[in-house]
Structure 1
Amino acid sequence: MGTVTAAQAATAPAPAPAPAPASPSTARVLNDRLALRLLRDEGPLTAAQLKEMTGLSRPSVADLVERLAQAGLVEVVGEAGARRRGPNARLYGIVARRAHLAALDVRTDSATAVVTDLLGRPLARAALPVDAADEAVDALEALARQAGADPLHTVVVGAPGLGAPADGRLRSTAGLPAWHRDLVAALRRRLPAAVSVENETNLAALAEQRVGAARDAGSFVLLWLGAGVGAAVVLDGRLRRGASGGAGEIGFLPVPGTGSLPSAAGCEGGFHALAGRAAVAGLAAAHGFTGPVAEAVAGAAGDAFLDALAERLALGAAAVAAVLDPGCVVLGGELGHAGGPALADRVARRLAALSPVPTEVRATALGDAAVLAGARLAAAESAQAALFG
């Protein structure tokens, strides 16, 4: 071993200090957060179950439960069994009425709101008026009062377009009416709630990840098939938005078969021109079907139509597989739900012929409902983080 000079010793990095042991107050905070997470994810639990799951002593669990009860976060919600009585049988649960939330699914021509409790459980639902932002806020406030949920603590809005990561503002890439941006501004101006906006496809992916078709997939891409097309990218369990929030704008992907190229101003020559609802309706008509496009995708137009649609969808899926290698593509939205496993299987076979990257293709478990489900999940997570610390 060489000799270390005085100069080298002076400039050498000092050894990293050993981590200081957590203070009692820090340990209490960490234990409280763990208990709240368990109560949220596992449902009501007894003190004995909390002791087993947290590894804490019985007195520590008793102190923890008392602290959370005094903070208005936890309460007794029942008993563990008919034959068990007394303190050891008490079931503790999160005080779901501690805060009330709202989830909005805003489309180009419609808006739907759901008011929930702190755990995201729906209390009331209604369509909101479109084209007038203040009237939509009036309707949301009335819905909250009807549900006994006034004031609202957190509101999450799912909408087409890009939610910029830096400030959460909505930028349109799909020719959205001005009232979309006016609605978010009106919500922030008039409500005491924390209001955030997220791309609809990202919220749908969150729902598919937590309660839908991708529950067992660490990485996947949701291919949204509705009036427009989009994608949400989840890698290693995390949603990836990109530097500007534009990750997944697959409607702008140049693909063969469109006759032109997309531009920064529109995706008419991109993948949207093959897989958007209007394009799929045209494909269905070419195969002799003139009814609602979702019915055609569901199989009313026959196998030849589904084969042709799968050819188109495989082009977008192949690009996703080549760049991201997610291992799984979920066909979501109205048309993905209508096509179901029959369409997913066809896309998988065609994709296997186009790409050397192994990629499973699944049908959505939630369809159009995924946007509201994802907004509810996001609102609950945001509110819980704010209240639980």
Structure 2
Amino acid sequence: MPASPSTARAINDRLALRLLQDEGPLTATQLKALTGLSRPTVADLVDRLRGSGLVEVVGEAGAERRGPNAKLYGIVAGRAHLAALDVRTRSVSVVVADLLGTTLAEASLPIRDGTATEPAVEQAVALLERTAKEAGVAAVHSVGVGAPGLIDPATGELNDSSGLPAWHRRLVPVLQERLPATVLVENETNLAAVAEQRVGAARDCDTFVLLWLGQGVGAAVILDGRLRRGSSGGAGEIGFLPVPGTSGLPSATDCAGGFHELVCVAAVDALARRHGLDPRTALPSGEGPFLDALADRLAVGAAAVVSVLDPGCLVLAGETGHAGGAALAARVEARLNRLSPLRTEVRPTALGDTAVLRGALLAARDAAQDELFGPAEGRG
């Protein structure tokens, strides 16, 4: 059944907006070529989008730079403003940006151990409000929050997790109460994977796994271009993966004895000290024997992931993945391909410490665009 005229217009508008978002400012002639639409149809949709305040003339193109065909059309960046929060155990970082994702202001704040729940939440919310004010933003349209812990697929809420501060769970409800904004929360590792997929190390991959190697250890699974969370939101909880070389077996409430015990930051620091190295500089220094030993540990858990999912590509992220860089990734790849017949490329993060914030900002931007432009199909 053919689409109605109104449905066809909505589809065409959405296509044009996505092209303007992804490709940057375009002329009507370029939009015609990229969409395959007729010149009158493109002219009509440009008029509609300009009338709705979503698109504006941002310049001219071409040798002569004059006439209607030379006009460059772009998204109105100030049509909505976004915020992203990276919530860690002892800190929170904030970025405020426009609809194109351009950073307008950013800030970070430590949250001291032992800070009570309500004061900690107030500090985080106040940081966001101050950063928005610094950016000259009166109201934020959408907020993306990245946090450790599991997200309930049914409710979209952060589940209670042992070892995490109580203020983590309280923060999102308070943001929803205080701000006239859409507030979304997602597991930090999942957000890092989305960022690496769209603007980082895995831009050419529809299927890959990101290993998060930091204070906590986890994985994010992207299959056929979509983030996979699992039935309870726990896909990728490889810190609990039973592996050889640990003190025992993990339990339902404690990942000690699991893969976490081998490759969390504390374990990596201890390994560095056993090699006579300063944990603060061991990874960046690229010390051979230490990196070899760490790669041996990482390959054990990575081999289990590869044998089940066959992702073809692993991205090493988090503090250890970032600091180890290409040298660590190459060693893990070599060992992994000796352990498994499934060939797997191992890459270091391209976004480093910014991966979670970038992913949270992309989530906020998607939410704003879905409301302003209409929902996009096929997004994870």
Q: Same fold (TM over 0.5)?
A: yes
Partner of 1:7: none
Find out whether 1:73 has 2:81 as its counterpart: no
Q: Secondary structure at the match of 1:203?
A: helix
Q: Which amino acid aligns with 2:255?
A: C
In structure 2, relative to structure 1, the CA distance for the partners of 1:41 and 1:174 (3 Å cut) is farther
Partner of 1:380: 365
Q: Which amino acid aligns with 1:296?
A: A
Displacement, 1:249?
A: 0.6
Q: Distance in 1 between matches of 2:329 and 2:278?
A: 23
Q: Which amino acid aligns with 1:357?
A: L
Q: Which amino acid aligns with 1:78?
A: G
Partner of 2:261: 273
Q: Distance in 2 between matches of 1:178 and 1:128?
A: 17
Deviations 1:105-129 (A, max 9, x none): 1100010000011121111001146
Alignment of 1:155-166 (within 5 A): 155-166=143-154
Q: Which amino acid aligns with 2:240?
A: F
Deviations 1:69-98 (A, max 9, x none): 111111111111462212211111111101
Find out whether 1:176 has 2:164 as its counterpart: yes
Alignment of 1:76-87 (within 5 A): 76-81=57-62, 83-87=64-68
Find out whether 1:63 has 2:48 as its counterpart: no
Contact 1:129 1:136 in 2 (8 A): no
Q: Distance in 2 between matches of 1:174 and 1:297?
A: 29
Contact 2:162 2:253 in 1 (8 A): no
Q: Distance in 2 between matches of 1:214 and 1:54?
A: 26
> Which gives a bigger RCO, structure 1 or 2 (Cα 8 Å, sep 6+)?
2
Displacement, 1:174?
A: 5.3
Q: Secondary structure at the match of 1:45?
A: coil
Partner of 1:297: 283
Q: Distance in 1 between matches of 2:109 and 2:35?
A: 44
Deviations 1:243-275 (A, max 9, x none): 111001110111111111111111111111000
Displacement, 1:320?
A: 0.3
Q: Secondary structure at the match of 1:150?
A: coil
Q: Distance in 2 between matches of 1:186 and 1:57?
A: 49
Deviations 1:121-170 (A, max 9, x none): 11100114634212321221121122122211100000110111111111
Find out whether 1:99 has 2:80 as its counterpart: yes
Displacement, 1:303?
A: 0.8
Displacement, 1:173?
A: 3.7
| Identity level (%) | 69
Deviations 1:291-319 (A, max 9, x none): 41xx212235x211111100100011000
Partner of 2:378: none
Q: Which runs of 5 or more residues in structure 1 are unaligned?
A: 1-19
Contact 1:226 1:335 in 2 (8 A): yes
Q: Secondary structure at the match of 1:244?
A: coil
Q: Distance in 2 between matches of 1:172 and 1:286?
A: 35
TM-score normalised by L of structure 2:
0.94
Contact 1:160 1:172 in 2 (8 A): no
Find out whether 1:186 has 2:174 as its counterpart: yes
Partner of 2:132: 144
Count of residue pairs the alignment pairs up: 367
Q: Distance in 2 between matches of 1:351 and 1:279?
A: 20
Contact 1:97 1:118 in 2 (8 A): yes
Q: Which amino acid aligns with 1:314?
A: A
Q: Distance in 2 between matches of 1:167 and 1:225?
A: 27
Select which of 285, 298, 320 maps to 1:313. Answer: 298
Query: Which structure is larger by alpha-carbon Rg, 1 or 2?
Result: 1
Stretch deviating more after TM superposition (54-63 or 279-288): 54-63
In structure 2, relative to structure 1, the CA distance for the partners of 1:299 and 1:174 (3 Å cut) is farther
Partner of 2:349: 364
Contact 1:120 1:379 in 2 (8 A): no
- Taking only aligned residues, the RMSD between alpha carbons, in angstroms, comes to 1.3
Displacement, 1:367?
A: 1.5
TM-score normalised by L of structure 1:
0.92
In structure 2, relative to structure 1, the CA distance for the partners of 1:95 and 1:206 (3 Å cut) is same
Deviations 1:308-339 (A, max 9, x none): 10010001100001111111111111211111
In structure 2, relative to structure 1, the CA distance for the partners of 1:286 and 1:172 (3 Å cut) is farther
Find out whether 1:220 has 2:208 as its counterpart: yes
Contact 2:15 2:35 in 1 (8 A): yes
Contact 2:94 2:127 in 1 (8 A): no
Partner of 2:251: 263
Select which of 71, 74, 82 maps to 1:90. Answer: 71
Q: Which 4+ residue blocks in structure 1 deviate beyond 4 angstroms?
A: none
